[in-house]
Structure 1
Amino acid sequence: MSRRRTEPALADALESGPFSLALRLAIQASGLSLERLQHHLREQGLSVSRTALSYWQSGRTQPERADSLRAVGVLERMLELPAGSLVTLLGPPRPRGRWSGHHPSRPDQAWARPEGLWRALAQLEATPDCLTRLERLRHSALLRMDAHRQIRSLTTQVVVRAHREPVWRELMVHRSFMAGVPGPEIEQARGWRPGRIRNDPETGFEVHEMLLDRELPVGGTAVLEYTLAFPPGHIDRYASFRVDEGMRELTVEIAFDPAVLPAHCHAYFQPSVAHPKREVGQLRIGCSAVAAHVRLDPEHGIHGVSWEWD
């Protein structure tokens, strides 16, 4: 993979997905056409059409059958990628029919490698459906960076409403890609108290159980606040937030150390993890060293802010 060391976009995609983006960038870096890849696969006894390859790299479909998964392993060798680097980005098979649209509340559309999230949820006697029992009407996040370009804290305030059934807890999902670095600790909880914390070390998912001060009846609302304090070692270059139906306002602020400001900072959007990030605007860093991104009635999907130091 030496010839790709200078391609950070491919390295990031292989680390965090989605599969379609990683495959597309790897094919572009290789210089091989889809026809050539199809020919190589056929020589290995694997019949994969050019259309299927095109769909895989666009995110329209993903490999699911046993022979398709074997083909992905062969593609890794053809594209000079580490063994298993593409296969591990594939989550469980996608549901068919009317519910297979790109909806961010579905973990397989909102997160790469969602099987890790399912394992962490199972430790809390929860299912992916538990993540949508509270409707988030407003989400405000303040991420603080230090002079070493590391994330130090994330303060969040959300306004939630129980819209299907009474709710007594919320589940907060955090994911870190910093191998060997401990996850954040909760500070300054308001409107709830910390419960159990469960994680999936293989994929970096961590789920925090938030026990509400009172059970919310259907239609009941609450304001929840908390701060995640990060130990040294968290050196992410972006922060992303999942937006589902019902959210009326999303506010994201990134507070940098005034002595160490990034060269660029911009907001982006993804309808789902199967789509590449689409830049939606450069963010100006004011004299207070804060970049702010505000969306009213935000589009359902993944909204984020990323920054570059050089």
Structure 2
Amino acid sequence: MNRQSPDTLRNSLAQALDDGPFSVALRLAIQASGLSLDRLQRRLDGRGISVSRTTLSYWQSGRTQPERPESVRAVRLLEDVLDVPEGALTGLLGPPRPRGRWSAHPAAQAPRPDRTWARPEGVLRVLAQVGAAPEHLAHLLQRRRSVQERLDAHRQVRTLTMQMVVESRRPQVRRALIVHHFHMAGVRGPVIEDARGWRAGRVRSDHETGFEVHEMILDRPLAMGERAVVEYTLAYPPGHLEPHSRHRVEPGTRELSVEVTFDRAALPARCRSFFQPSIAHPKVTAEDLWIGSCTAALIVFDPEPGLHGVDWEWE
């Protein structure tokens, strides 16, 4: 559910209608209208356009997008029903997506630091320290990412284990660059333990902004399109009081899972998943997550490009 205030929701909608993507703009327009998907489907049906509730759900989640002529006509009608300017939603529809969820070689696009991090100058500085630029972050596509994060009884992050299926986007890729941002000024960053499929290389930091880059040397060079399974654990020293677990997803990622495990003596009052098309957009809360005995989990298939994560509240 979305917990933004009405003013924040209107501002988020206006920005999404300008910048996209389509799924976020549609989701925010539906939320601003106050209509459920069932009521929205009935209104469209009453105007002679048949669109299932499932299809509407897929459109607003980014799982599919309107492509056929009758679907585009439905989006034009949605603009009227949801009271957004004519052409605001249809103008965000890009070209049809390639069929099949595992396209051979998705077009490589360098991540934009200004869309992913609040202090992009820090990212540029740490990358420069290892002779890299933002486009080097796109040399390996993360087809699948599984994250396990553990907090202790003092609410501090202690370990983060990352397992990925990566695919080479260039011939003879020999290294990967992992960028992290730490919120606690003056606290030492984590160290890499239990690496598998690669080994730790250089680590460079930008103390002004809290960014750190870890260079990982692959066990073997990967040819174009070749895949490998890699894993590592970040072991944190005391003092890391992170407010959330947030992860950048690029086009071509098939699956993202984030599990956050809390100490039984310090369970949060609430956990929620969230999504941001970019760092400039406010968080859109997707759903409350069940904590169970001590773990909250977010699992997304074919995740929409942007920032996905889990945040928590203690009181």
The TM-score by the shorter chain falls in which range? 0.5 to 0.7
Pair 1:150 & 2:156 matched: yes
Partner of 2:280: 274
Q: 1:114 aligns with which of 105, 110, 120?
A: 120
Q: Residue 215 of structure 1 aligns to which amino acid in structure 2?
A: P
Check whether the contact 1:143–1:254 (CA below 8 A) recurs between aligned residues.
yes
**Cα contact 2:156–2:239 (8 A) shared by 1:** yes
What corresponds to 2:167 in structure 1? 161
Is the contact made by 1:118 and 1:128 (CA closer than 8 Å) also made in structure 2?
Answer: yes
- From 288, 299, 304, the equivalent of 1:294 is 299
- 3-state secondary structure, aligned to 2:185: coil
Structure 2 segments unaligned to the other structure (5+ residues): 20-93, 95-108
Identity of aligned residues (%): 54
* Residue identity in the other structure for 2:260: I
Runs of 4+ aligned residues of structure 1 deviating over 4 Å after TM superposition are: 57-61
Matches within 5 A, 1:32-181: 58=15, 105-181=111-187
Q: Which amino acid aligns with 1:142?
A: Q
Structure 2 matches for 1:17-32, cutoff 5 A? none
Structure 2 distance, partners of 1:138, 1:149, is: 28
**Alignment-derived partner of residue 196 in structure 1:** 202
Q: Distance in 1 between matches of 2:232 and 2:148?
A: 11
Q: Displacement, 1:166?
A: 2.2
Which residue of 1 is the match for residue 188 of structure 2?
Answer: 182
2:312 to 304, 307, 310: 307
Deviation, 1:163, is 2.2
1:58 to partner: Cα distance: 4.8
3-state SS, counterpart of residue 285 of structure 1: coil
* 1:179-224, Cα deviation, whole Å (9 max, x unpaired): 1100001000000011000111111100000000000000111111
SS at match of 1:203: coil
SS at match of 2:204: strand
C-alpha contact (below 8 Å) 1:150/1:234 kept by paired residues: yes
**8 Å Cα contact 2:205-2:212 kept in structure 1:** yes
Q: Give per-residue Cα distances to partners, 1:25-81, cap 9 Å, x unaligned.
A: 8xxxxxxxxxxxxxxxxxxxxxxxxxxxx99x95969xxxxxxxxxxxxxxxxxxxx
Distance 1:119 1:237 in 2: 24
RMSD: 2.2
**Cα-to-partner distance string for 1:153-177 (whole Å, 9 max, x where unaligned):** 0000010001233210000111101
Partner of 1:212: 218
TM-aligned CA deviation for residue 131 of structure 1: 0.3
Question: Which of 260, 263, 266 is the matching residue for 2:266?
Answer: 260
- Residues of 1 paired with 2:172 and 2:251: CA distance? 18
State the Cα distance separating 1:259 from its structure 2 match. 1.6
Aligned to 1:75: none
Paired AA for residue 296 in structure 1: F
1:236 deviates by 1.1
Distance, in Å, in 2 between the alignment partners of 1:207 and 1:301 is 20
Cα distance change, pair 298–219 in 1 and its aligned pair in 2 (3 A): same
* Matched residue, 1:15: none
The residue that corresponds to 2:82 in the other structure is: none
- The residue type paired with residue 305 of structure 2 is H
Query: Matched residue of 2:150: which SS?
Result: strand
C-alpha distance in structure 2 between counterparts of 1:247 and 1:111, whole Å: 19
Q: What is the deviation of 1:104?
A: 8.4
